[in-house]
Structure 1
């Protein structure tokens, strides 16, 4: 007997990396056995159909690098089996629906490079399986919810290039699995919380281009896995903490355009992995410590370009 295939039996649909155009048809909701749906890197336009919420078995949904517009439908919150959701690099607008908080199995939530607005819903804190969260390059605002501190499996958080304000919640310090924290290019203010010193696995800390004030917490020096530290273009004051000399793996240290004062601590000379040290446009004084001569990997010492006549350049004992 001839076997007749019915589309509702389909489990995997991959149409990625073609030149498909037009809209995603609402009939997609008929494919109730779909586990994997990949429409990435095409020319799809229009909105994401609400009927996508009928795909209760769906585990992976990738529709990134298209021309989709409109809002993220609330119905995506019905996809309780979903582990990976990527809608990045489209033209999606509106707010992030609170219904995404229902996706208990979600490990990747990638919504960056859209035109999303509004605040991050508190319900994001229900996504206990989440390992990667990227909301960068949108028009999101409001404060960073303290509920993010519930997501103990997070390894990457990227909220950069938005309009977030308020302070970094202390609860971020609970994310002991975090390796990358990107909060740069927002309007965040207040002091940098000492609780960030708990993030012993952190490799990349990007807080540049905000309005942070107060001193650099000495606890930053506990981050022995750190390779990139970006604190530039804020309103940080006080001295550079000697504890930064504990960051044996750091290769980029950017403290430029703040209100830092005092001298450069000798301990900076312990950072033998350092390739770029950027201290320009502060109020540093005193002499450049001889210990900087230990930094054999240094290829860019922006302190040389300070418009700050209080620094005594005669103590520079190595050539660049």
Structure 2
């Protein structure tokens, strides 16, 4: 399929009734025309997957009715325009791999309908807690640092208004501090992913571990401590990855109540005790390099869907259960 090339013409600002502009997956170069700010009826702008450069400016004049803005996969310069906070209808902001740097503008906290926030840098402003309809917070693979703001997790603060929050991915940054207490208490979290290159410490808040709607629970490669939480309410949990932390104590028997669970990765912690016999059929079980002892449950030999079993680096005794498959 042929692709458009060249620059986006400045004359596009003359299309006064233009509402939706799809220019993604082409070969456009140059900067975004300043005349786009004259399009007061523009609601949806998609310019992803081009080779656009220059600074980004939206919301400074008439263009304040944007609902969706996707700037992904370009080569822009400078930061996220704080004027976007004036686009009160903005529902989706996607800025993945577009080279923008600097701070997340606190003015984005003025957006009551922000649904997707992705690929920003430096610290997270507490004002994001004012985005009452925020459902997806993706800030992974950046250079973010500092503490995760209390506005995203404490009660009674702005978290009481974040009832639509479903996905939080903050992996591969430099966050420190604790997981905000209350995160997920009033929302229906489905995915939490704080893995890699973070330095979170402390315990997993009960509000997170007991969130009934979580399906993927990933907190690997941090400095989390304490006992593993009770998972008895996590009936939708399918994927649990807490490897490379400093959790202690026993593997909770409540994991046996998670009937949809297919993967457990608790590699490189300080867990003790036996492997719970309550565990149901899994596909992947990694308990390597802990302080576990006792015997390996014989029921493992009946798990026909088991593809990965790692038990090395522990203190097990007895025999490995024989294969009972017909």
Q: TM-score, normalised by structure 1?
A: 0.90
1:45 corresponds to 2:53 = yes
Please identify, of 22-31 and 289-298, the stretch whose mean Cα deviation from structure 2 is larger.
289-298
Distance across 2 between alignment mates of 1:226 and 1:182? 13
1:191 corresponds to 2:203 = yes
Query: CA, structure 1 residues 230+175, in 2 after alignment: closer, same or farther (shift >3 Å)?
Result: farther
Distance across 1 between alignment mates of 2:321 and 2:301? 8
Deviation at 1:243, TM superposition (A): 1.0
Distance across 2 between alignment mates of 1:175 and 1:153? 9
CA RMSD in angstroms, aligned pairs only: 1.8
Instruction: Specify the SS of the correspondent of 1:221.
Output: coil
Matches within 5 A, 1:106-185: 106-109=114-117, 111-112=118-119, 116-117=121-122, 119-149=123-153, 150=159, 151-185=162-196
Aligned to 2:255: 244
CA contact (8 A) 2:59 2:85 kept: no
Please identify, of 152-161 and 41-50, the stretch whose mean Cα deviation from structure 2 is larger.
41-50
Select 2:313's aligned residue among 287, 302, 307. Answer: 307
Aligned to 2:106: 98
Instruction: Specify the SS of the correspondent of 2:52.
Output: strand
Instruction: Specify the SS of the correspondent of 1:23.
Output: coil
CA contact (8 A) 1:254 1:277 kept: yes
Please identify, of 289-298 and 207-216, the stretch whose mean Cα deviation from structure 2 is larger.
289-298
Distance across 1 between alignment mates of 2:324 and 2:175? 42
Aligned to 1:288: 296
Q: Which runs of 4+ in 1 moved over 4 A?
A: 50-53
Select 2:237's aligned residue among 226, 229, 251. Answer: 226
CA contact (8 A) 2:115 2:134 kept: yes
CA contact (8 A) 1:237 1:259 kept: yes
CA contact (8 A) 1:187 1:210 kept: yes
Deviation at 1:53, TM superposition (A): 6.0
CA contact (8 A) 1:54 1:78 kept: no
Deviation at 1:319, TM superposition (A): 6.9
CA contact (8 A) 2:34 2:57 kept: yes
Distance across 2 between alignment mates of 1:176 and 1:95? 26
Distance across 2 between alignment mates of 1:73 and 1:182? 27
CA contact (8 A) 2:213 2:234 kept: yes
Deviation at 1:69, TM superposition (A): 2.5
Distance across 1 between alignment mates of 2:68 and 2:79? 19
Aligned to 2:220: 208
Q: TM-score, normalised by structure 2?
A: 0.89
| Aligned residues between the structures | 305
Aligned to 1:66: 74
Query: CA, structure 1 residues 176+105, in 2 after alignment: closer, same or farther (shift >3 Å)?
Result: closer
Distance across 1 between alignment mates of 2:184 and 2:33? 44
Deviation at 1:70, TM superposition (A): 1.3
CA contact (8 A) 2:225 2:247 kept: yes
- Whose helix proportion is higher, 1 or 2? 1
Distance across 2 between alignment mates of 1:238 and 1:267? 17
Distance across 1 between alignment mates of 2:35 and 2:124? 31
Matches within 5 A, 1:253-264: 253-264=264-275
CA contact (8 A) 2:58 2:64 kept: no
Aligned to 1:82: 90
Select 1:318's aligned residue among 293, 308, 323. Answer: 323
CA contact (8 A) 2:189 2:214 kept: yes
Query: CA, structure 1 residues 209+171, in 2 after alignment: closer, same or farther (shift >3 Å)?
Result: same
